Amino acid sequence: MKIRKAKPNELEEIAKIMLKEFSKPPFNERVSFGFAFDSLKFYYNLGEIYVTIINREIAGILVFKIEKYWEGKVIIIEDLAVKEQFKKQEVEKALLNFVESYAKSRNIKRILFTTNKKSKAIKFYKKLGYKEEKNRINFSKKLK
């Protein structure tokens, strides 16, 4: 297993993987390929996209950005996806360990992310030491 920065010519394949994985419950995302691809191009320029490679195949994807908060720099994980056939190979754990090392090497003290409240990974995240934020609530509003 190897984790490396994504290459521009891999964004199409990454978009297809993300569309497939995020279309499943509990996420049930329904977006076009074009939208997913454009989003990846945006984050390729604004943030960081890393992939896990197993047997020359992209097995997992990590998309994140660094922002400056009052407390200092934070990493915000935008997307984390693992192909179904690799989910039992600790790819997600490897990607989270990677982003933690990345943060520590840059003196970043906090990693934030949001997931679906029905996600099967919640227990996994807690096992790795991530905690639900007690003083934060996510809000959203769909605009017409």
pLDDT digits (tens, 9 = 90+) for 47-79: 999 999 999 999 999 999 999 999 899 999 999
Residue pair 51/40 in contact by the 8 Å Cβ criterion: no
Tokens encoding 100: 């933690």
pLDDT band at 22 (very low <50, low <70, confident <90, very high): confident
Bigger pLDDT: 135 vs 125 = 125
Q: pTM for the complete prediction?
A: 0.88
Q: At what angle do helices 33-46 and 11-22 cross, to 10 degrees?
A: 120
Tokens encoding 81: 């996806």
